[in-house]
Amino acid sequence: MKKTEKYEEKNILVLGLARSGKNAALLLHRLGAKVTVNDAKDLSDDPDAQELEELGINVVSGGHPENLLDEKIDFLIKNPGIRYDNPIIEKALAQKIPILTDMELAYEVCEGTLVAITGTNGKTTTTMMLTEVMNTDRKKGKAFAAGNIGFPASEVVQKVTSEDELIMEMSSFQLMGTQHFRPSIAVFTNIYSAHLDYHSSREEYVQAKMNITKNQKETDWFIYNWDLPELRKLSEESPAQLVPFSRHERMENGVYVLDGTIYFRNEPVMEREDVALPGEHNLENALAAIAAAKLLGKTNKQIQDCLSRFSGVKHRMQFVLEHENRKVYNDSKATNTLATIQALQGFNQPIVLLAGGLDRGQTFEDLVPVLKEHVKAMIVFGETASTLIKAGEKAGVKTIRKVADVTASVPEAFEVSESGDVILFSPACASWDQYDSFEKRGDAFIESVNKLVHKPQ
For residues 108 and 189, membership in a common domain is answered with yes
pTM of the model: 0.75
For residues 96 and 122, membership in a common domain is answered with no
Give the pLDDT score at 193.
Answer: 60
CATH number at residue 53: 3.40.50.720
CA-angle at 170, arms to 432 and 183, nearest 5°: 170
Give the pLDDT score at 457.
Answer: 47
CA distance 282 to 286: 6
Q: Are strands 326-330 and 318-323 parallel, antiparallel or unpaired?
A: antiparallel
Quick check: 169 and 334 in contact, CB under 8 A?
A: no
CA distance 284 to 228: 11
Q: Phi and psi for 267 in degrees, rounded to 5? A: -100, 125
CA torsion through residues 57, 58, 64, 69, sign: negative
CA distance 227 to 69: 47
For residues 268 and 153, membership in a common domain is answered with yes
CA distance 200 to 188: 21
For residues 80 and 139, membership in a common domain is answered with no
Q: What is the dihedral of CA 7, 12, 18, 24, to 10 degrees?
A: 0
User: Of 290, 336, 332, 323, whose CA–CA distance to 443 is shortest?
Assistant: 332
Of 272, 307, 342, which marks where a domain is finished? 307
For residues 130 and 278, membership in a common domain is answered with yes
* Average confidence (pLDDT) per 10 residues, the chain, 457 residues: 92 91 95 95 92 95 89 90 85 93 93 96 91 95 88 92 96 86 97 60 87 97 97 97 97 97 98 89 95 98 95 79 90 92 86 96 94 96 97 97 97 96 96 93 96 75
Provide the residue range defining the domain that includes 67: 11-100
**What would the DSSP string read from start to end of 25-78?**
HHHHHHTT-EEEEEESS--TT-HHHHHHHHTT-EEEESS--GGGGTS--SEEEE
Quick check: 102 and 23 in contact, CB under 8 A?
A: yes
CA distance 403 to 401: 7
The secondary element (H helix, E strand) that includes residue 145 is strand 143-147
For residues 87 and 120, membership in a common domain is answered with no
For residues 37 and 179, membership in a common domain is answered with no
Give the pLDDT score at 449.
Answer: 96
Is 444 inside any structural domain? yes
For residues 125 and 260, membership in a common domain is answered with yes
CA distance 140 to 445: 39
Per-residue pLDDT reduced to its tens digit, 300-322 = 999 999 999 887 777 878 888 88
For residues 91 and 108, membership in a common domain is answered with no
Per-residue pLDDT reduced to its tens digit, 93-149 = 999 999 998 899 999 999 999 999 999 888 888 999 999 999 999 999 999 999 877
User: Of 447, 403, 450, whose CA–CA distance to 427 is shortest?
Assistant: 403
Is 340 inside any structural domain? yes
For residues 91 and 107, membership in a common domain is answered with no
Of 76, 100, 124, which marks where a domain is finished? 100
Is 6 inside any structural domain? no
CA torsion through residues 68, 70, 76, 80, sign: positive
Is 238 inside any structural domain? yes
For residues 112 and 64, membership in a common domain is answered with no
Q: Which residues contact 207 (CB under 8 A, 6 or more apart)?
A: none
The secondary element (H helix, E strand) that includes residue 90 is helix 87-94
Helix (H, G, I), strand (E, B) or coil at 260: coil
Is 5 inside any structural domain? no
Of 281, 307, 333, which marks where a domain is finished? 307
Is 312 inside any structural domain? no
Is 2 inside any structural domain? no
CATH number at residue 284: 3.40.1190.10
Count of beta carbons in the 10 Å neighbourhood of residue 212: 26
Q: Which residues pair with 318 in a beta bridge?
A: 330
Q: How many domains does the chain have?
A: 3
Inter-helix orientation angle 18-30/47-54, to 10°: 10
Is 265 inside any structural domain? yes
User: Of 5, 84, 16, 18, whose CA–CA distance to 436 is shortest?
Assistant: 18
The string over 232-257, giving b where at least 16 C-beta atoms fall within 10 Å of a residue's C-beta and e elsewhere, is eebbeebebbbbbbbbeeebeebbbb
CATH number at residue 384: 3.90.190.20
Instruction: Give Cα separations from 219 to 94, 115, 295 (angstroms).
Output: 36, 14, 12
For residues 136 and 256, membership in a common domain is answered with yes
CA distance 131 to 127: 6
CA distance 300 to 295: 12
